[in-house]
A and B are shown apart, each in its own frame.
Chain A
Amino acid sequence: MSAAILEVENLVKQYPGTTAVAGVSFSVPEGVCFGLLGPNGAGKTTTIEIMEGILPPTTGEVRYRGEPLGARFREDAGILFQRTALQDFLTVRQSIALFRGLYAHGLEVDELVRLCALEKLARRDARKLSGGQQQRLLLAIALVNDPAVLFLDEPTTGLDPQARRNFWELVQSIKARRKTIILTTHYMEEAELLCDEIAIMDRGHIIAQGPPRRLLHEHFAEVLLELPRQEFPPAARELPLNIIDASDRVEISTHDLEATLRTLLEARVPLGHLRIRPGNLEDLFLELTGKELRP
């Protein structure tokens, strides 16, 4: 594995009456896409903003290539915030040029426009872009300095499925350029597709970290059986199975698929609409962080 480009050590961030980040440590190898996952209020954005150098930690340290965050990091980092407004009355091209002018080195504006598929929008007022177009512009801005490390904080939240997939393709093309990417997201599909390594945060702590497949193997080796809720007889709830209620279905997780199927058949549970699938990152996420609604 490559050497760590970013090292996070004992990071704590406290606000009056609350601890947003409670002693987080991890390192990010160069050239990987590192996903920071967690439910709302888990401390992801606070952690990533401390890593970006725009929020000071209460205690702890972030090091970039072995040094505390400083001028070199600012020149080398590209950032796409969860929410960013740009200067009014500028076109797409002018917005990119504004940020390009803040860095000593980087990509040409034309190259960024091409890279983020903004050719047809280059002369358009940046305020008049759709959600997906706006994210592509913000990604172009995050890439103006040809960053060694790129932070993407929930980049596809609020985008429609087409725009989201289009954005994923862009991120994969950036990954192909051997850039290190730090990604926070709510979408497990996004993390599974893009991330080489993930850390799951909850209540200010990292509760699991590693490559997605390894985490699934370690924490969620079960198979899931899904049945429509209305076809699941109330009496079957008494069966010795790990039954989980989802919105319109019942899920049964098991290590022993054959024994579970036998139990269901013996209880005369209708299996006409049975679906069997392996556990995915979302199942792991729910397993680790719980299913209750957060206040």
Chain B
Amino acid sequence: MMRRLLSVLHARNLEFLRDRGTLVFTLLLPVMLVIGMGFVFGGPQRPLFKVGLLGGPSDPLAHPFLSERYVEFIGLQQQGEALRKLTHQQIDLLLELRPPERYWVNTDSPKGYIVEKLLLAAEPAASREPVTGAAVRYVDWLFPGILGMNMMFSCLFGVGYVVLRYRKSGFLKRLHATPLSAFEFLSAQVLSRLTLILFITGVLYAGIGAVIGSHSAGSVLLLALVAVAGALSMIALGLTIAARFSSEEVVGGLLNVLTWPMMLLSGIWFSLEGSPRWVQWVAHLFPLTHVLDSARAVMLDGAGLAQIAPHLLYLGATALAFLAFGAWSFRWRID
């Protein structure tokens, strides 16, 4: 029995070692994740309080409060956006050092209460402007993230693996012998998956929303538009991955390389507020980041079309670019 077992074991090991795609992704992906996570979440201990500095970052010597420990100072340019964050308790206090020197504090925020004490200890004469507003419940904040994550997996893996299976089985080769063009085939895949995703996301939105008591502050139609644009972009991204390859391992590896950074950096679980600027820059390359930013803007802040238009444009442009690249690089058969 042992001889047979070893024989099969040896053959499987050879198969694994000779499948370079699997080998590379098996070895490389964990290394990349560890290095990436180290960069993004490494460094000194996280501060306890977040204070917005209106007008951008300042020299720590410019004001005694700026040298306080365990306080993170975040430069914010737009007063309206800064006050929105304060109202939702995404920052604990907002400080303007330009004349007239003043600060805003959310009187409903426990952390705001503490950090205000620290400010007044350093600058007793500071001018106070109170605001109110309950913190956004984490579940309300998380809700679009969960829907977006589900959409991402369905878009990338659903389409990627289906096309790969069609190619491996020879079904694509058979279709290639008909008048069907690559663009027509890919468009059909996109539309099929889009319909499915919109239906599922709609059901989840209504169902989970009813259970957790979450509702959109903005237009539901606008949310649907975000879902359409986001799904199109991510489905097209999945097709670019599946356009050429014929190995499950390579396609699976590439999809993992895409989904893991999106899972971590697109803001599904937590906000990247305060993370290094380059991390935020990288995050904004991902379609999912734009889906979540615009969905949260609509759901939590009641944003309109004008406010989320840049996100929609980015998603539309990436959908077209990915689809065009996918059609260009598409292979019907295994060479």
Contacts and interface: CB of A to CB of B under 8 A. Distances in A.
A81 interface: yes
Interface stretch (B51-59, B65-73, B171-179, B237-245): B171-179
A85 B170 contact: yes
B180 interface: yes
Given A54-B332, A54-B333, A74 B170 contact: no
A222 to B, nearest CB: 42
A83 B169 CA distance: 9
B179 A81 contact: no
Contact of B173 (A74, A84, A104, A141): A84
A99 B177 CA distance: 11
Contact of B179 (A74, A79, A84): A74
B169 A85 contact: yes
Main SS of chain A's interface residues? loop
Interface in A59-106: 71, 74-75, 77, 79, 81, 83-87, 99, 102-104
Interface of A: 52-54, 71, 74-75, 77, 79, 81, 83-87, 99, 102-104, 141
Contacts of A103: 178-179
- Closest 10 CB pairs between A and B? A85-B169, A102-B178, A79-B177, A74-B179, A84-B174, A85-B171, A85-B170, A102-B180, A54-B176, A84-B170
Contacts of A79: 174, 177
A158 B333 CA distance: 23
Nearest to A71: B179
A278 to B, nearest CB: 39
Interface of B: 166, 169-171, 173-180, 332-333
Nearest to B169: A85
B173 A81 contact: yes
B177 A86 contact: no
A104 B332 CA distance: 22
Contacts of B179: 71, 74-75, 102-104
A81 B180 contact: no
Nearest to B172: A85
B104 to A, nearest CB: 59
Contact of A54 (B166, B169, B171, B177): B177
Nearest to B175: A102
16 contacts: A52-B177, A54-B173, A71-B179, A74-B179, A77-B177, A84-B170, A85-B169, A85-B170, A87-B166, A87-B171, A102-B175, A102-B178, A102-B179, A103-B179, A104-B179, A141-B174
Given A54-B332, A54-B333, A86 B178 contact: no
Contacts of A87: 166, 171
Contacts of B169: 85
A5 to B, nearest CB: 17
Contacts of A141: 174
Nearest to B177: A79
A115 to B, nearest CB: 19
| Residue of A52, A81, A87 most packed against chain B (CB within 10 A) | A87
A52 B175 CA distance: 12
A181 to B, nearest CB: 16
Nearest to B180: A102
B170 A81 contact: yes
| Residue of B169, B170, B174 most packed against chain A (CB within 10 A) | B174
A74 B171 contact: no
Given A54-B176, A102-B179, A84 B171 contact: yes
Contacts of A85: 169-171, 174
Contacts of A104: 179
Given A54-B332, A54-B333, A99 B178 contact: yes
Nearest to A141: B174
Nearest to A86: B171
Contacts of B175: 102
Contacts of A54: 173, 176-177, 332-333
A45 to B, nearest CB: 12
Contacts of B176: 54
A117 B4 CA distance: 47
Nearest to A78: B177
Contacts of B166: 87
Given A54-B176, A74-B179, A84-B174, 14 more contacts: A52-B177, A54-B177, A74-B178, A75-B179, A79-B174, A79-B177, A83-B170, A84-B170, A85-B169, A85-B170, A85-B174, A102-B178, A102-B179, A104-B179
B174 A81 contact: yes
A108 B171 CA distance: 22
A103 to B, nearest CB: 6
Nearest to A99: B178
B229 to A, nearest CB: 29
B123 to A, nearest CB: 70
A81 B180 CA distance: 17
